[in-house]
A and B are shown apart, each in its own frame.
Chain A
Amino acid sequence: DQQVKQNSPSLSVQEGRISILNCDYTNSMFDYFLWYKKYPAEGPTFLISISSIKDKNEDGRFTVFLNKSAKHLSLHIVPSQPGDSAVYFCAASEQGGSEKLVFGKGTKLTVNP
Chain B
Amino acid sequence: ETGVTQTPRHLVMGMTNKKSLKCEQHLGHNAMYWYKQSAKKPLELMFVYNFKEQTENNSVPSRFSPECPNSSHLFLHLHTLQPEDSALYLCASSQDRPGTYGYTFGSGTRLTVV
Contact = CB atoms under 8 A, between A and B. Distances in A.
Given A43-B90, A89-B43, A104-B42, A99 B102 contact: no
B98 A100 contact: yes
Nearest to A41: B107
A8 B31 CA distance: 31
A98 B42 contact: no
Given A42-B107, A43-B108, A32 B99 contact: yes
B40 A101 contact: no
Contacts of B102: 34, 36, 46, 49, 91, 93, 101
A46 B110 CA distance: 21
Contact of B97 (A49, A91, A98): A98
B50 A99 contact: yes
A45 interface: yes
Interface in A36-79: 36, 41-46, 49, 51
Nearest to B48: A99
What's the interface size class on B, roughly? Answer: 20 to 34
A105 B107 contact: no
B101 A49 contact: yes
A106 B110 CA distance: 18
Given A41-B107, A46-B103, A89-B43, A99 B90 contact: no
A99 B43 contact: no
Contacts of B31: 99
Interface string A71-109: 000000000000000000101010001111111111000
Contacts of B107: 41-43
A93 B97 contact: yes
Interface of B: 4, 6, 31, 33, 40-43, 45, 48, 50, 55-56, 90, 92, 94, 96-108, 110
